[in-house]
A = this chain, B = another copy of it.
């Protein structure tokens, strides 16, 4: 039980970073052990030392994805309810280059997730969690009279649908949908819901 001479978690984080870098540049189709090792400037042995195999590597990549989504430099919710919901939506959208990279990876993960049972289940759970977060704000807003009553679950699905769909469009047409335009569309969308 001797402690490591190097910080295991820290090194593992470095590998994560390399994985992130490869994904941002070449997508899941270009994610290979060797590419990660090259991005890290190390051998493939190092990579397998921290992640048993490619499967674990991919799973971990999706974990990072979720963690970064949750821990991103987000604007604080100015107030509970509708304002918080708006903030949550803006926190998902590719409004900055970093956020764009993250979303690019997220969208790319769908191909592999749809073909792998385990990843598929994990992805479903992630969506569930996302929806639950939105739902809380929606119910707050309904209680405050900012949103009309109605099944909050359905509304959460609608809001998440709109947001994710906007993510995809923004990724494929960044010039037509810069940050300001995305924000405007969110406000238009929310205005339609409140009417």
Contacts and interface: CB of A to CB of B under 8 A. Distances in A.
Interface string A90-107: 000000000000001001
Interface residues of A, number: 47
11 contacts: A104-B114, A108-B110, A108-B115, A114-B171, A127-B173, A157-B185, A161-B161, A161-B162, A161-B165, A164-B168, A165-B167
Interface stretch (A27-35, A66-74, A132-140): A27-35
Interface in A122-137: 123-124, 127-128
A29 B154 contact: no
Contacts of A185: 154, 157-158, 161
B27 A111 contact: yes
Nearest to A112: B29
A27 B173 contact: no
A156 B70 CA distance: 30
Contact of A195 (B111, B160, B173, B195): B195
A169 to B, nearest CB: 6
Interface stretch (A2-10, A43-51, A77-85, A186-194): A186-194
A158 B185 CA distance: 7
A65 interface: no
A89 to B, nearest CB: 11
